Amino acid sequence: MSVPASTPVESTRAESTPAESTPAAPTAAALSALLAEHMPSVAASGMRIDALDADEARVCLQPEARHLRPGGTVSGPTMMALADTAMYAAVLQRALRERPEPELLAVTTDLQMHFLRRPRPGAMCATARVLKFGQKLVVLRVDITQGETLVAHATGTYARPPRA
């Protein structure tokens, strides 16, 4: 799949002036549209970007029957995909704060998952937080919750694409 050199992303800043060197923060709706365009599997999974903050992204899912394993628990692969999607959203939104072109070619290089409690069928959210945003690598942590209950914790690393 070819990636366009520049994909416009809606931001929270009104109009930027030439004196402003830092791009505006993307909105959750704009980042959701970007993922839907370039990664249709995310939209098809039922995941949605719920909120973005300076170094965080929250992605939520209302699990369906296809996300459950025998015994009525949300499957591990579903929670790993939720964590990875939240990390990707956090990397994209943080990179968009530095330059206007999205880093669509950023890739997961490491993902470690700790399943802490049995997740019941029901809404769950993954909140990914950037711990270190380097020129080549981004280190993140993710908490997956159901309501106020922490059900899983993950850490991961993303590789950023080389700058042109």
For residues 132 and 91, is the Cβ–Cβ distance under 8 A?
no
Domains parsed from the chain with CATH numbers: 28-159 (3.10.129.10)
- Per residue in 115-154, pLDDT (tens digit) is 999 998 899 999 999 999 999 999 999 999 999 999 999 9
The pTM of the full predicted model, rounded to 2 decimals, is 0.84
Q: What is the pLDDT of residue 110?
A: 97
Q: What is the pLDDT of residue 97?
A: 84
Kindly give the parts of the chain with pLDDT less than 50. Answer: 1-19
